[in-house]
Chain A
Amino acid sequence: MKKYTNTGSKDTRSGFGAGMTELGQKNENVVALCADLIGSLKFDDFKKNHPERFFQIGIAEANMIGIAAGLTIGGKIPFTGTFANFSTGRVYDQIRQSVAYSEKNVKICASHAGLTLGEDGATHQILEDIGLMKMLPGMTVINTCDYNQTKAATLALADHHGPAYLRFGRPVVPNFTSTDAPFVIGKAIILNEGTDVTIIATGHLVWEALLAAEALEAKGISAEVINIHTIKPLDDEAILKSVAKTGCVVTAEEHNFLGGLGESVSRVLAVNNPKPQEFVAVNDSFGESGTPEQLMEKYKLNNKAIIEAAERVIKRK
């Protein structure tokens, strides 16, 4: 199996912050908006270097989305930043009408997504945001897996015209993608080629998928691992090509199985080539307080869960 090395664990949100720092220097049309979470979103450098292009909105997310939409009228490229819960569920109608339906070039950037927010508990642990955002016509939905990929995605979004949702998180996780890996929106990345099962993972579950593939290999099972960073538009072709070879699939995501990556993959398979699928995802529940590791264990979102799902789905072939 192809080897991936953790070059030093970091949080994905810091990748976003580094991307914003670089964009600040490279693209004078990029502006940043924040709803009282500068430190959490790693906006400190951007704010310091470009105070005139940084908008502190206060705790008023609906107003932030509207202002971002307005800033596009005048040619600005706004990146809004707050927690994933306040970036989506709280402001769904503002995003729907003022951004998506109005076709505004707003980048909604969301940290602290999913269970790995940890101890703050379910009020802050949104597990529905991918579903909310992918249902909006014209919205690009991206969930990155590590620091480098999050930075690359942030840079790529500035060159992409149209509304987009960028999802990342708080915990320190392995950084294993290469710094010079091209980030192509909508293009899946085959991390490991295999023949017995396809594991399709997004976000923090990608590293877990690699660990699972390694363990499966030791058991004589050859797993193909696909990193889907763009959930919408989904790379149907890469998925179909892989599943045609392996005949079954496990999807893995830090999200409710309802509305997540898994359902998007199911649709592609149902329409084109129905095959057995197992879901590593939250089973339609809210989260709770705990450490990220405890929560990922309790809610079955780790490499162990992926291994079990792979063994189950292979038996269903």
Chain B
Amino acid sequence: MSNTQHLQDFTTQTRRDILRMVHAVNSGHPGGSLGCAEFLTVLYQQLLQRNPGFSMDGIGEDIFFLSNGHISPIFYSVLARSGYFPVSELATFRKLNSRLQGHPTTHDGLPGVRMAAGSLGQGLSVAIGAAQAKKLNHDAHLVYVLTGDGELQEGQNWEAIMYASAKKVDNLIATIDFNGQQIDGATNDVLNMGNLKTKFEAFDWDVLEIKEGNNIEAIIKGMEEAKSRTGKGKPVCVLLHTVMGNGVDFMMHTHAWHGKAPNDDQLAVGLAQNLETLGDY
């Protein structure tokens, strides 16, 4: 049963976490993190069938990989608030001796993280491997992966995209954070990737779009549809149209906040637009 008010509150709190984490160390990536806040909230609070606790093998549960590791603030916030580790630990983000490294890693044993990510283009291959392991283990659960759209400029993705359909990896849902922005500007200006939908379809994936990728109900509906298309011989791709910086007005619709922290005044404005719901860390 969906509880969109809870999901809304959860999302708002993660936005506060993102802004405060990035502000505290004057570094990190708020833009993409804010753009995916609703998606990751829905994923962890509603969609994923998760076992209590954390096991690296993920046998008997759905598993998720973050490929665009720079949006670690939202990943950490959602993991902490979904019970993987104490919310208070968010205060250690990007600090010395923290488990919350700038980009996610398994190295320090942070529960919820199964793969280091940061160097782009690697998560889809890893997710395919994990999905094939599930098939070998007769584990009917799904593997989810999120990649950036600019990240698709990395060639390894296209090796993986070709492979997944050829080998009928149909227990995999790859979501593309389709915000049209990357560090140097709009993806269409930096390196126009053409029509991603037809490209994925040409590689024989089942593609669906979520036009309102920052609308919780639209995400639930779209992802439930994506789930229903698994197990039918094709990998499933979701083009999730998001707004970078969503929920903080001056960060929206621009690449400017890809990897830049707000100053004290900007933080105050951002927090005023997202009032505390579940309690700050």
Contacts and interface: CB of A to CB of B under 8 A. Distances in A.
Interface of A: 31, 52-53, 55, 57-58, 60, 62-76, 78, 93-94, 96-98, 101-103
Given A97-B116, A98-B115, A70 B159 contact: no
B193 interface: no
Contact of B117 (A67, A74, A97): A97
Contacts of A76: 133, 136
Given A63-B128, A64-B125, 7 more contacts: A55-B167, A66-B128, A69-B115, A70-B126, A74-B137, A97-B116, A101-B116
Contacts of A75: 57, 59, 133, 137
B126 A66 contact: yes
Given A98-B115, A102-B106, A70 B163 contact: no
A186 B93 CA distance: 37
Interface in B140-167: 155-156, 159-160, 162-163, 166-167
Chain A binding surface SS class: helix
A62 B166 CA distance: 17
Contacts of A97: 116-119, 122
A102 B105 contact: yes
Contact of B156 (A52, A62, A73): A62
B132 interface: yes
Contact of A69 (B126, B156, B162): B126
B156 A70 contact: no
A66 to B, nearest CB: 2
Contacts of A65: 125
A147 B58 CA distance: 38
B106 A70 contact: no
B57 to A, nearest CB: 5
Interface of B: 56-59, 63, 105-107, 114-119, 122-134, 136-137, 139, 155-156, 159-160, 162-163, 166-167
Contacts, number: 117
23 contacts: A60-B163, A62-B155, A62-B159, A63-B156, A64-B125, A66-B125, A67-B160, A67-B163, A70-B126, A70-B127, A70-B128, A70-B133, A71-B130, A71-B132, A73-B56, A73-B126, A74-B134, A74-B139, A75-B133, A97-B118, A98-B125, A101-B105, A102-B105
B121 to A, nearest CB: 8
Contact of A66 (B114, B139, B156): B156
Contacts of B56: 73
A215 B105 CA distance: 53
Which of B105, B136, B166 has the largest count of A CB atoms less than 10 A from its CB? B136
Contacts of A64: 125
A239 to B, nearest CB: 30
Nearest to A100: B116
Nearest to A70: B129
A76 B84 CA distance: 24
B159 A69 contact: no
Contact of A63 (B107, B130, B160): B160
B163 A63 contact: yes
A102 B106 CA distance: 5
A78 B159 CA distance: 19
A299 to B, nearest CB: 34
Nearest to A55: B132
Contacts of A69: 115, 125-126, 129
Given A66-B122, A67-B125, A73-B56, A94 B156 contact: yes
A88 to B, nearest CB: 16
Q: What 5 A-B pairs are tightest by C-beta distance, nearest first?
A: A70-B129, A66-B125, A74-B133, A60-B159, A67-B129
A94 B132 CA distance: 19
A73 B129 contact: yes
A62 B59 contact: no
A93 B119 contact: yes
B134 A63 contact: no
B136 A53 contact: yes
A63 B186 CA distance: 27
B132 A67 contact: yes
A97 to B, nearest CB: 5
B159 A73 contact: no
B124 to A, nearest CB: 7
